[in-house]
Chain A
Amino acid sequence: MVDFLIGLFLATLITALFTTRLYRLLFWYALNSLTLGLLALTIGSRLHDRAMLLSGALTILLKAGVIPYILKVLSRKFELVRQIPPSIKTQYAIMLVPAILVFTFYLAEPISHMVQGNANYVAVSISSLFLSLLLMIEHRNVAPKIVGFLSMENALFLLGTTATEGMPMLVELGIFFDLLMAIVVINLLLYREEAQS
């Protein structure tokens, strides 16, 4: 089950890389977060870790529900460009994505003897970190860059839940707090842009 969810996580992220429409991208991001939250719930219920269950539920609520919705509202309000063709051509991206994956999978290989639990999670989260970086790089527009930043946060959360079997609650809450603050700052940045033009 965990393998399935982790596969789904990576799959949604890769699909997001090839998306050319903003709302689709937000949809994939929401799905990505949803699988992440389900993953945290699954692992948390297996470990009987109440903190992880809570953070999984928060993830589903915030990252899969509230944040994509807010971003959608913001993009309506500030009339952001909704066509977001990646600036890296698909032909090259097709070669780049597997290259990144192979690289990160081999990078994480020595870890497999060290982490208790499953080393694949570390590999997948490192590769999703790089893929979200790619998502930020390949777009010129602001909105997909924000989504890239958010999915980077997701990759970190994945690493936190799987590699360490849950971060301390304090840190998790701090990360959520900072995420919300990031949204506020993004809102302010967009707001000023409108006021100027």
Chain B
Amino acid sequence: MTPESVSHLQRVLERAARILRIGALVNGALAGLILVLGIIGALRIFPDMFATLHRLLLFNTPGADDATVTGAMLLALLNLSLLLVLGVGALARETWTLAALFALALANLGALIGLGYTLAPLTIAFALYTLYVILRDRIARGAFRPNPVMIKELRGRMRGVRAFVVLTVYLSLMGGFAMLLYLIYSTAGRDPGSAAAGEIGRVLFNGVFAVELLLIIFIAPAFTAGSITGERERQTYDLLRTTLLSNASFVIGKLESALGYVMLLLLAGIPLQAFAFLFGGVSETELLLSLTILVITAITLGTIGIYFSAGNERTLNASVRAYSTTLILLFVVPSVISLILAVLNGFLFGVSGLFPYAPLEAVFVYLSHFLTSINPLAAAVTTQNLLVTQQIAGFYPFTLSVDGTTIPLASPWINFSILYTAAASILLTLTIRAVRNLDERELPHTV
């Protein structure tokens, strides 16, 4: 490529990314609008607000009006996250971006036809127009390739016996742990297929899931927190910056390689989780949902790590900040606030509540539900509970104690997934900005 075509390619890619960012903003604005209208509807200012919104937004979806409106908002948020990620992917010239843009357009088309999701054409238009901008340009079309940083990192990581040993040790420990659980819970007379055996299956499944989740919480930020600071510390960062590698390619490549390894560990653990099927008591839905939660947790926590890695000079600082943020976000905030909420809830809305006002109680319910959705473990436990006791994996009505009216709630894994994907996509965008900012406010370089 000549220097001129390099500049040209950059212009095309930036244009594509800008289109997708605008699409994300439009979806965000629409989600906000639906939220505002929903609040107005909940306050019962206009009696048929939810029914109208239902007809307008998801005309082909059966179900309660308020639940479908919430669903439409969540869909808009999901589109926002995906468009943001794809914007970064386009800048990074990731091959999967092209396929994903197409898939996103298709999925929205499916939502339009199947659910009657009337906002889908917007996202379809943004996705297809971006594809057109990229594909009509000969240079841009040819520029999409496997990420060089990812290949380099994976080559290093998977070299020799180290990766093999780590995987073996990990699986042995997990296997030992599962065995221990089995030994503790198994007693004579629990035949396969019986209710008691199902209990063993459940314990095994939950145990393995909990360990994997903990592992991800501790590994994912660590893998990524050192990824950018490490290049600075090894003084290889300047070398990369004088090449044609863009900030987006650099960040995405680092993230891909770190997450690739975490995914390998997760996939290797699936057979262990699947052992639970031998005993019964666990459904495929549970396995799928648990995997979804694990993967999304890994991606988001990995993104938190890389965000701090971009904004700090030293790996130590980046790691400390990534871990403290993760722990505060995952444990401190949900536990403290839900404690306060629980106390206030009983105090205000209980049987002899001081303040029996239904909309306020609804706000409280949503808040505590939101907090449940921040923590992957809480989200998983609640989701499983709903699934086992009520066979609910989607939306369900919740009855307020004040006046017996119902409000729609989504099973926590839905909120969790959308919340975490949105957080990851925004953090990713911010990370690339942070890399650029750190380049700008550079320190004097002494000879």
Asked if A and B are interacting partners, one says no
| A residues lining the B interface (CB < 8 Å) | none
